Amino acid sequence: MAIHIDDMQLPARVGPVDGVWSHLLSDLPGEAGTAELLAFADRLGIEARWIQKAGTSTEHFDVTEPTRQRALALGATPIRYGREVAALTRAKREVSGR
C-alpha cells in the first residue's frame, strides 16, 4: 500500500547520533506491513535491526531529517505527527488486533 514519513522533526541525541528525528512507517498491518517497511528501509540504507516495536501496529523506524528527505524523494507519503499517525496506527490495530 504505502510507506509514510511523519513530520515530528524532534531534535534529540539518540545514542551517538545527534539529529532531528521523525518516523517511517507502513500503513499495512501484520507481516505485509513489516515486509513493506523493511524493503523501503533497505532502499534507504537503514538496517533492519533498527526497527522499533516490530510486529505491532506502532512498528516504525526512527529516521533523521536527511533520511526523511530521501524517503520523500523515494515516494514516501508525508503525514502529520499526532492525529494522522494515530489514525493510521488505529486502523492497523483494528485489522490485526495488535
- Taking the CA atoms of 51, 79, 67 and 76 in sequence, report the sign of the dihedral they define: positive
At residue 78, the pLDDT reads 98
At residue 55, the pLDDT reads 92
Please state, in angstroms and rounded to a whole number, the distance separating the CA atoms of residues 52 and 62. Answer: 8
At residue 95, the pLDDT reads 87
Please state, in angstroms and rounded to a whole number, the distance separating the CA atoms of residues 68 and 31. Answer: 23
At residue 98, the pLDDT reads 67
At residue 96, the pLDDT reads 77
Residues of the chain predicted below pLDDT 50: none
At residue 29, the pLDDT reads 93
Q: Where are the domains of the chain?
A: 3-96
